[in-house]
Every structure is written in structure tokens, then in C-alpha cells.
A = this chain, B = another copy of it.
């Protein structure tokens, strides 16, 4: 049998990671095991181990891929808007759209991982915390810009704004899915807009 090309191996590693992201969004990062993922992908365990090394390396790759999906869906499109308030408004819309699209089969990946690792020290905790801190930093920089431009009150703390947007999206996404409230994402969007001083706007 000919050796498979490096490109083929990279492709199949990427597909394994994407399948694992979907699986982990339902069962949690702790819930994916090499055995379970091998079953899902109809691959051998040894094949998967060859690709990832060990369970923790696989979990870290999965988390990184999930963060990348979020960035692609929520942050990159917002870069087309002007810095400051217009960009924050675009982020809110993209974030709600992302939650509405159910990009992750089991709800927001980073929120699920945050809950899994908030009380469990280790490399996965550190990776999730670093991803959330980076995202809060990005939101805070935009809020600071908006304040400097006079689009947010001078006494509004940009760190508070960032934390509030994150809390609303995270908590609102979870509660809405749980109770099956179809209007939950509209409520979340209105609350996020209020947090940056915008009117609730027409419900979509």
C-alpha cells in the first residue's frame, strides 16, 4: 500500500478535529475519548492516537479549532465595520447569528468548556481561560475606542462593557436553549445592544 501523502494526512486530521468539535459541543471536551471519537469516525483507535498523540493533545486541538470557528463567524466579518461602536454592533449581530445558526451542535462551545474547566486546573483550563481573556481584550479595545469617540459615556468602564457582552451572550445562549424559548436570542440581542447604549431595535 503506498504511503498516504502528507496533505491527505493533514486533511484527515482536520476532519477528525471538526468531527470532534461537534461531538464535544454535545458531550463536553471531557466526554470525548479516543474510543468514542474513533467510533464516530469509523476509524481505529490506533489511527487516531497516531494523529493526535494522546487524549489531552486531541482535546487541545479541538478547543483551538472551536475558537477558530467562533473567530471566523463572529470577529472576522465585524472587521468590515469601523472600529468602536459600529464594530461592536456588528459583533453583537454576528454573535447572535452564530448562536442562532447552531454552528455547534450542542450550543456555544467555549461556554460549555468554561463550565467544564472553571474548577479543574490544568492545560485545558488554561487554554479556555486564555481564549476567553483574549476575546474580552478584543471587546474591551473596541469599547475603549467607542468611548474615546464619544459613542459610550465617559464613565462607562470598557472592561465592564466587554464582560457584560460576554456574560449576556454566554448566559443567554445557555438559558434560551435549555428552556426552549424561541425569543431568547432576541432578548439577548436587545440586552447586548443596551449594554453598548444602542436601542433594542426591531426584533428579527
Please report A residues at the B interface, Cβ cutoff 8 Å: 25-26, 28, 30-31, 105-107, 111-112, 114-120, 125, 128-129, 132-133, 136, 159-160, 163-164, 166-172, 174-181, 183-184, 187-188, 190-191, 195
Contact = CB atoms under 8 A, between A and B. Distances in A.
Contact of A111 (B105, B174, B179): B174
A161 B169 CA distance: 15
Contacts of A119: 25-26, 105-107, 177
* Copies of this chain present: 2
Nearest to A183: B159
A111 B187 CA distance: 18
B118 A177 contact: yes
B167 A188 contact: yes
Most B CB within 10 A of own CB, among A118, A188, A195: A118
Contacts of A168: 164, 167-168, 171
Of A132, A163, A180, most B-chain CB atoms within 10 Å: A163
Contacts of A177: 118-119
A107 B111 contact: no
